[in-house]
Amino acid sequence: MSGPLTTTANYSIALVNYKTLDLTKTCLTLLQEALRGASVPVIVVDNQSDDASSEYLRTLDWIQLVERKHSDPEAGNIAHGRALDLALARVETDYLFLLHTDTFIYDPAVFAMMIEQCKGPREVAAVGCLEQLDRGVVRSAWRLASRFCKHYARRSLLALGVQARAPKPYREVHLKSFCTLWNARLIKQHGFHFQMDKRNPGYELQDRMTAQGYQVRFISPRTMFRYLDHIQSGTVSAMGGYARNHRRVRMYEHITKGNPLRAW
């Protein structure tokens, strides 16, 4: 691991908690260790968990805790996006890192590495990764090939008048928010938000920022996961959204028992 951060950083960090006590504890413990000696605002929005995770967050004096309350039913992605917008409203730095509670930072150099991507003649709106885990070359190639085949199979069926699902893009185009750097100054300058439609938070924002002529920089999974681990859909696993023998549940149980995810 790199040495401690010792300067005042021009970025903030935000994450949203919803009933994920074990994940949130692990995430914040590692984050606090990574940020030791650095003056970095950490904003945590509790999305009306009303459980032990809420109580835990109230005991932390080194974070800015925002307790979001809402009465109307919300889809999970909408609730998450609105919580991120509450965090955005509090940000006073130029840059904002978004983390998930199932993201575990092992090397704080990831922050400097991503901010370095913002240098250049054109302003950069966001920096991040298109994949939520490092599948390696073989698995990534297989996934792309299978998605390619499925995409054009559905297009062919629709062209023949056969009822089929709409084809999804076979290439990922939107940054995944488990660890993403956003230019908060530009977002506020244009009056944009993370939740602007019914898609995942940040997707519409990325599209609009790109349309404005700003760059989006992509970091390969191989590079990104040198610094951190991420349990894909860890929040869903923590809340019992998958069967007990599901791979993501086993990953979640592996890390919450104190084992490093890198050994998975």
List, for residues 59-76, the tens digit of each pLDDT value.
999 999 999 998 777 888
Cross-strand bridge partners of residue 46: 17, 67
Q: Tell me, letter by letter, the H, E, C secondary structure of 116-137.
A: HCCCCCCCEEEEEECCCCCCHH
Q: Is 3.20.20.210 the CATH classification of the domain at 11-131+174-230?
A: no
* Mean pLDDT on 116-133: 93
Residues 6+ positions from 151 with CB-CB distance below 8 Å: 167, 168, 169, 170
Q: Tell me, letter by letter, the H, E, C secondary structure of the chain.
A: CCCCCCCECCEEEEEEECCCHHHHHHHHHHHHHHCCCCECCEEEEECCCCCHHHHHHHCCCCCEEEECCCCCCCCHHHHHHHHHHHHHHHCCCCEEEEECCCEEECCCHHHHHHHHCCCCCCCEEEEEECCCCCCHHHHHHHHHHHHHHHHHHHHHHHHCCCCCCCCCCCCCCCCEEEEEEEEHHHHHHCCCCCCCCCCCCCHHHHHHHHHCCCEEEECCHHHHCCCEEECCCHHHHHCCCCCCCCHHHHHHHHHHCCCCHHHC
Structure tokens at 213: 């002529």
Higher pLDDT, 205 or 142: 205
Higher pLDDT, 2 or 119: 119
Backbone region of residue 108 per phi and psi (left: phi > 0; alpha: psi in -120 to 50; beta: other values): alpha
Per-residue model confidence (pLDDT) at position 133: 81
Per-residue model confidence (pLDDT) at position 141: 53
User: Average pLDDT over the chain, rounded to whole?
Assistant: 83
Per-residue model confidence (pLDDT) at position 6: 42
Per-residue model confidence (pLDDT) at position 42: 97
Per-residue model confidence (pLDDT) at position 228: 94
Per-residue model confidence (pLDDT) at position 162: 73
Q: Please tell me whether residue 44 adopts helix, strand or coil conformation.
A: strand
Percent of the chain whose predicted confidence (pLDDT) is above 90: 62
Task: Examine the pLDDT at 154 and tell me if it is beyond 80.
Answer: no
d(CA 54, CA 57): 5
pLDDT band at 157 (very low <50, low <70, confident <90, very high): low
Task: Examine the pLDDT at 259 and tell me if it is beyond 60.
Answer: no
pTM value? 0.78
| Digit-coded pLDDT (tens) for 210-243 | 999 999 999 999 999 999 999 864 444 344 443 5
Higher pLDDT, 91 or 257: 91
Least confident of 11-15, 203-207, 220-224, 251-255: 251-255
Per-residue model confidence (pLDDT) at position 38: 85
Per-residue model confidence (pLDDT) at position 239: 46
Domain ranges of the chain: 11-131+174-230, 133-171
Per-residue model confidence (pLDDT) at position 237: 39
